[in-house]
Structure 1
């Protein structure tokens, strides 16, 4: 893929917009969450929706959450919040890798190996991961590690869906109506009280989901999550070109 094609895949609008994720009953989905709360903020509604459709959802939490807040024992507090949110969202399968928050760039090889192991173990049809242009460095490093893991796994049938948290996504190609799921997502976000106190995440998350709903121009839709879906090979090429552009 040329640099122009990679940037187009990341930034330019798609010809076809879909309103459901490309998975069905019995399929496996792996959600990559760099920090405790990313899984809820970015795709909590999608997680609830998929579980209601008998889709198997597994979460991998990459870091210890030690970098967000000035409280003592913030890492332990955020892990407890993660478990409370897990109960609300309703999934049961998860892994906690416990890398230092804010330092995923120092553990790329090992992280890639562990994500590769999870790809082989879960055989997901869909992998959800943060938007490559999202602001936090751990979110970008998660994408780089995922791309390498996908390359090593040689599972070209996997679809990657990037979700947005802090940086609105340029031209998503999948809009998911989560109006019916938003109350439960809101309750899951409230589990992260340390982050609400520090970052006011509830208002930010609600503002983004209502913003997406309004832009969709669809009737009776109050909340939406959006995704950028790419085939694994295109995702890998896009990340590799993006790395070159950064250098």
Structure 2
């Protein structure tokens, strides 16, 4: 699939939400402000009870699809969004995330158009609700085998050609909170899909993720990481499991 000035990629952006009243408006507004004009915006809500959907409905003229119904969790909701997506390229922007600038999707589209990769990713900042940056995730250029050294790109910056989901599968619910890590492992490490790194901050993420919310959840997340590694041909998963969190230390400096 080749893109050009005549046929720029249509980008499907999927936001999944559940009781995200405090953050979803910032998320939605960051999509609406994008300068790129070939966007399909989809919101998949898990039947929120806090007014999240009412906030989304305020912007329904800018949102192609809004679904609010019970689901089996965040990755089930992502899969629902992917099933509805009609774009050439698809990415996930969760309700706690927002685009770092108004030209992010322009940059993503240019990368697909000029480089023709299967996947585009970039950098991410973790921020407090007041906007203060607390961590800086600088991905770096991918080289074959880097997942064996604990590397991974930030999932909120991960955009891929939509047809890849049909070819290589969706988010697997058997990996719990590591489903995004497992999918990127499967696409990039196991199936050797081509990637292109955009060296700039694409997304800002408000701190307070589910997988880091308690020691119990963190242990479960490690178990799911290990399972993903074993099932996607990572060399020496126990060692990689120890290296992976150590790589994050540099994000705090």
TM range (shorter): 0.3 to 0.5
Q: Provide the TM-score with structure 2 as the length reference.
A: 0.35
More helix by share: 1
Higher relative contact order (CA 8 A, sep 6+): 1
Q: Provide the TM-score with structure 1 as the length reference.
A: 0.36
